[in-house]
Structure 1
Amino acid sequence: MRKNMHRTSAVIAALTLVAVTHVVGTADAEAITPSRPSSTDSADPALDRHIVGFRHSMGLATDASRMAAAQRAQNASEELFGVPLTDAEYRELAFRQTVVANDAALSRSAVLDRFGPERLAGVWMDNQEGGQLTVGVTGQVDAIYQFLAGRVHHPDRLTVRRMQSSMVELEKVARRIGVRAPEHMNLGISGVKVDERANVVRVLARHDPARVQDWLSSWLQTDAEVRVEQGAVTPVGTQYMDSPPFRGGQQIESLSYICTSGFVASGGGRDYVVTAGHCGRAGDAWTQVVHPIGVADRSDVTNTDAMRIPNGWYGTNEVTLSYDPDFGGYYRKITSSQSSANDAVGQISCITGKNFGGLRCGEIITRGYSVNISLEDGRTLTYTNGREVDADCNPGDSGGPALYGKQARGIISVKVTRFLANDTCVYVHIGPALNQLGLTDVRTTPGGIL
């Protein structure tokens, strides 16, 4: 293919990726959190910003009257989405998740099977356009719409849109950049992602986006659009420590780091605590409060970001959303885990970690976030299938759970800090992470003393 110089552009937008590991020795400011936090009573400006940001990303009104109506509503929106919503808004967003679950993977596979990989440019929930499941294609728009409309469960929520580049081409470009970037560490390339909705590949450069643009233009021959943004990737554990039985979403500690437990998972007839791989190496001993969890026997930071710790105490299927030593804990039972083929851009996922109580939820921005960063222990954190979610995380939240309702979805890995936009968080999907660790399932039964 021909070299397409004008397709590579530098976007000067200050952005930082921070892996959310907390180094032991850093002071933490504690605050009493109700056992079941309510954003309706919050005077926290950061929480208020999150609520406004969430509503904006979902295409919901952010005026004072609508916000007040949402706070007065009596529904399960805070349990499911982490923010108050009116009854109508709650029903609409819940229905959008049903549309994604029923039709996203179906549409993706149907286009690939019938029209070929060169036709598919992406599948996403367009929350800004009233909740339309949008299928991007490189041609045959009418034919593909007619084909899909007869097969999906919700044809009234289906839109087919013409795009420039196929997902195959975008992913190929992202892989090529990811392969060559480590050979040119002086350029400071720290992340690459495929943006399905914008139909572009985005490259993060720590120092000089224009220099990275020139380097890409000197060898990258593609018709796909590539945008370079200023930024950096660095690795990033629950606000109150809890006691056994062991749950996900709790602060855990080694001699060097504080992180967050993700889920309890099973393999080979025993239970393991799963957290982020960059939190430590195999051989590190981990505790939760004063209770020893075990010694990590596997820590992978290549193609994923996951670590397993054999658990000799308790194992449950619960995630801690908040804990107060006087009032107890607020927990969420996990009953299933998501297949990595079944999520989609625009779908809502939630996270919880060391630095906040309750849930922070947002839409998935990309399913293909590529990370390549050097860790303090000499290893390199590299993967290509990170899920970026429009919700903030901070140092110490690493390894915490990503979930939706009672479904396990992933392990918190890195933070994306932007000065001109909302901070976001990237998690590795639970399916590939468990596979690489040699584990089979997230625990979905109560369990007990092991």
Structure 2
Amino acid sequence: MRHARRRVVRRVTRLAAVGGLLCGGLMVTQAMASEPPASGSAPPTSTARTVAGTGSGLVSRLGDARTAGSWIGADGEPVVAVTDEEAAAEVKAAGARPKKVRYSMDDLNSATEKLRSAPRVAGTSWVIDRSSNEVVVRADKTVSSKDWKRLTKLAEEIGGPVRMERMEGTYTTRLNGGRPIFASGGRCSVGFNVTNGQGQFILTAGHCGPAGSVWFSDTAGTQQVGRTITSNFPGADFSLVQYAEGQGDDATNVVDIGDGRGVRITSVADATVGQKVFRSGSTTGLADGEVTALDATVNYPEGTVTGLIETTLCAEPGDSGGPLFSEGVALGVTSGGNGDCESGGTTFFQPINKALTALNVQLTGVEGGSSAGEPAPAASASEGAVAPGA
């Protein structure tokens, strides 16, 4: 597995307090921060949304038997994988760039179903790599030679679409048990503030703790923030923490990344392959990267999680549950991965729309609080920045 060094935009060593709530190691999204520019050029937000919508619309119209997904190309244009010349002509006529491939999305999905039905091996993952038209199966260093041989045999039986890779490091959930943020758990990060219309809650990772876990804003465990009332892990990776009385009264959705400034979250969307994204966490602060795959399956030691977003972002223990976003658009919360922010690695995220739907909540302070169904890639990162008290 490649370990290209990823850029950590800023390491947050001290968190700002807003509305009197200070959560120490627990990153709170009421705090204010600013989102730095993404590396490289990208189209304006409205154009980027149109680009993503064009690709996904063509895939829906042509169907999974004739396409193999879409993504945002390096030039910011929509790319659609197609299996026949007629589909390619239709894609080109719609203003997108066709890429002729051998396997359809039906073929690739069939391969992942066979992998999913095989005996589980901890320390493995698989994703559909749309740009290479393959299902990539990865195994970390904890996977034994015996299991590796068994997986390789299965891949050979499935056939052409599957590629096997050995990777450095190990797959772990990004929980840090060395810091007592909540009882019998560890250090995590707040993802987003959400509401059911009657109360205020924190959305974070499910592996941070089971229902009943108590969260504190100080390492001594004397200032209670809330209690986990619902947790979904493994399978998925999200949980809902109900604020303690008086703690969530001024909750907003402005992602903290330090220096007393913030990026206001204004909408929710599904991630898109090729999208430039940011992640914030209480251990490493802000990092930027790119979405490389969707619907990833990761076999953590604790259990299997499916439907994840795969990215080139780095993360470290304590960053679990932190927000994934792009230009004020909420995309997900940090699940786990491999590597670190010195050597680089891969980080997976729980898609936020799936969590909001399952929990029957919406983002606090966001009109409608749910996705309009349109992916929102990153644009110029200065938009949405607010100053303290805004």
For the criterion TM > 0.5, the same-fold answer is yes
Q: Give deviations 1:248-267, integer Å, cap 9, x for gaps.
A: xxx95444311000000112
> Is the contact made by 2:59 and 2:69 (CA closer than 8 Å) also made in structure 1?
no
Which of 117, 139, 142 is the equivalent residue of 2:84? 139
Output the CA distance in 2 between the equivalents of 1:107 and 1:14: 28
Output the CA distance in 2 between the equivalents of 1:178 and 1:432: 20
> Is the contact made by 2:182 and 2:213 (CA closer than 8 Å) also made in structure 1?
no
Q: Secondary structure at the match of 1:412?
A: strand
Instruction: Name the TM-score, length of structure 2 as normaliser.
Output: 0.75
**Structure 1 residues not aligned, in runs of 5+:** 1-12, 16-28, 36-77, 242-250, 324-328, 446-450
- The within-5 A match list for 1:64-75 is none
Deviation at 1:333, TM superposition (A): 1.7
Match of 1:167 in 2: 105
What amino acid sits opposite 1:168 in the alignment?
Answer: D
Deviation at 1:99, TM superposition (A): 4.3
Which of 188, 192, 204 is the equivalent residue of 1:275? 204
**1:93 aligned to 2:42?**
yes
Match of 2:375 in 1: none
Q: 1:316 to 1:190 in 2, by over 3 A?
A: same
- The within-5 A match list for 1:19-34 is 31=13
Deviation at 1:300, TM superposition (A): 0.2
Match of 1:344 in 2: 272
Output the CA distance in 2 between the equivalents of 1:287 and 1:403: 25
Point out which structure has higher relative CO (alpha carbons under 8 A, 6+ apart). 2
Match of 2:374 in 1: none
> Is the contact made by 2:127 and 2:293 (CA closer than 8 Å) also made in structure 1?
yes
Match of 1:192 in 2: 126
- The within-5 A match list for 1:153-302 is 155=95, 158-182=96-120, 185=121, 188-205=122-139, 206-208=143-145, 210-217=148-155, 220-230=157-167, 232-236=170-174, 253-267=182-196, 269-289=198-218, 290-302=222-234
Match of 2:257 in 1: 321
Q: Give deviations 1:73-96, integer Å, cap 9, x for gaps.
A: xxxxx955555x6xxx5xx3144x
Output the CA distance in 2 between the equivalents of 1:391 and 1:305: 18
What amino acid sits opposite 1:93 in the alignment?
Answer: A
Match of 2:282 in 1: 354
Deviation at 1:373, TM superposition (A): 2.1
> Is the contact made by 2:136 and 2:165 (CA closer than 8 Å) also made in structure 1?
yes
Q: 1:437 to 1:252 in 2, by over 3 A?
A: farther
Output the CA distance in 1 between the equivalents of 2:71 and 2:109: 16
Deviation at 1:414, TM superposition (A): 0.6
Q: Give deviations 1:134-191, integer Å, cap 9, x for gaps.
A: 1111112xx334433454xxx3xx3111012112221221232123132xx4xx4521
Match of 1:18 in 2: none
Deviation at 1:418, TM superposition (A): 8.6
Output the CA distance in 2 between the equivalents of 1:125 and 1:268: 36
Deviation at 1:217, TM superposition (A): 4.5
> Is the contact made by 1:14 and 1:420 (CA closer than 8 Å) also made in structure 2?
no
> Is the contact made by 1:181 and 1:189 (CA closer than 8 Å) also made in structure 2?
no
382-391 or 435-444, which deviates more: 435-444
Q: 1:334 to 1:30 in 2, by over 3 A?
A: closer
Output the CA distance in 1 between the equivalents of 2:212 and 2:189: 18
**Structure 2 residues not aligned, in runs of 5+:** 4-10, 18-32, 368-390
> Is the contact made by 2:80 and 2:91 (CA closer than 8 Å) also made in structure 1?
no
Q: 1:431 to 1:230 in 2, by over 3 A?
A: same
Output the CA distance in 2 between the equivalents of 1:30 and 1:236: 17
Q: Which has the higher helix share?
A: 1
Which of 56, 65, 71 is the equivalent residue of 1:124? 71
Deviation at 1:275, TM superposition (A): 0.7
Deviation at 1:202, TM superposition (A): 1.4
**1:439 aligned to 2:361?**
yes
What amino acid sits opposite 1:277 in the alignment?
Answer: G
Q: Secondary structure at the match of 1:297?
A: strand
Output the CA distance in 1 between the equivalents of 2:199 and 2:344: 40
Match of 1:108 in 2: 56
Count of aligned pairs: 331
Output the CA distance in 2 between the equivalents of 1:200 and 1:306: 28
> Is the contact made by 1:389 and 1:424 (CA closer than 8 Å) also made in structure 2?
yes
Instruction: Name the TM-score, length of structure 1 as normaliser.
Output: 0.66
Match of 2:385 in 1: none
Output the CA distance in 1 between the equivalents of 2:77 and 2:323: 28
Deviation at 1:321, TM superposition (A): 1.1
What amino acid sits opposite 2:267 in the alignment?
Answer: S
- The within-5 A match list for 1:377-388 is 380=303, 382-388=304-310
Q: Give deviations 1:259-317, integer Å, cap 9, x for gaps.
A: 00000011252111011000100011111235322221110014320010111312222
Match of 2:242 in 1: 310
Q: Which has the larger radius of gyration?
A: 1
Output the CA distance in 2 between the equivalents of 1:419 and 1:174: 30
**1:367 aligned to 2:294?**
yes
Deviation at 1:425, TM superposition (A): 1.4
Q: Secondary structure at the match of 2:330?
A: strand
What amino acid sits opposite 1:166 in the alignment?
Answer: S
Q: Secondary structure at the match of 1:408?
A: strand
Output the CA distance in 1 between the equivalents of 2:107 and 2:133: 10
Output the CA distance in 2 between the equivalents of 1:420 and 1:285: 32
Taking only aligned residues, the RMSD between alpha carbons, in angstroms, comes to: 3.3
Deviation at 1:322, TM superposition (A): 1.7
Give aligned-pair identity as a percent: 22
> Is the contact made by 1:100 and 1:347 (CA closer than 8 Å) also made in structure 2?
no
